[in-house]
Structure 1
Amino acid sequence: MPATAHHVGITVSSLEEVLPFYRDVLGLDVITRFSVSGEAFATGVGVENATGSFAHLDGDGTRIELVEYDPEGADIEEPSLNRPGAIHLGLDVDDIDAFYEALPEDVETISEPQTTESGTRICFLRDPEKNLVEVLEQ
């Protein structure tokens, strides 16, 4: 039996600081918020005495999970797209230029919208904790 996708998860340091970016800037609806703890959770994630605070957002068919762990692990280096193991969230928009122009000034971008050889228009952003988000128009 093949696996089916359930969600894409992003670990954050502060759910309260990052959630407004995904909700207000990217326009994703919050489906649910919850916390999980206990021995089964800690064993399942491989983090002793772990507690997780979660927010699930609706990515129009893809559930996006933001999770804040206690205890928090060590920070990783600033993500870079060309590093093996690098991850990013990709979101499709109808008009990338209008989306880009409407971004708040404090949102960090890697570049203005670019048209790739495939004809797809892309730009990359960083959330408040430097996680990479690709915005594309096909």
Structure 2
Amino acid sequence: MVITDFFSDVWETFSHPSPDAEAPKGGASTNTPSSGTDEESQEEADVNKADAAEGGDEDSGHRPSGGDDEEEEEEEETVDPKDALEEECADSKECAPAKHHYDECVERVTGQIDNEGKAKEDCIEEFFHLTHCATQCAAPKLFAQLK
């Protein structure tokens, strides 16, 4: 019963607003438009007219700092060597039996889907055996590269 009491306490705490909460003091200003509306204050209208009179560029938005002629340097995406090592190990002689069982299962399941519209089994167990073998094979090679 302890866990149910915990959840009921949590529910009561977060489901009801606090009775101590007060309405915000002050009120909405009638001098300026509300935030999020399309209305334009007189000050904003004056600034927009002045910008239009200057003949500003169409693309006069935010410009990145650092100069106009500098091109952004593209950071080279680092490649995880683990993926390549595991793929190499999955195709190796060491993992050949697990890969063979997985490939046979995939053929069997694909045939069932083609013939009957659904499969009677899945290949999760075979997939995990192959993945485990590839990971066990790749781990020493990976740590040797990282040293």
Larger Rg: 2
Instruction: Give the structure-2-normalised TM-score.
Output: 0.15
Q: Per residue, is there more helix in 1 or in 2?
A: 2
Q: Per residue, is there more strand in 1 or in 2?
A: 1
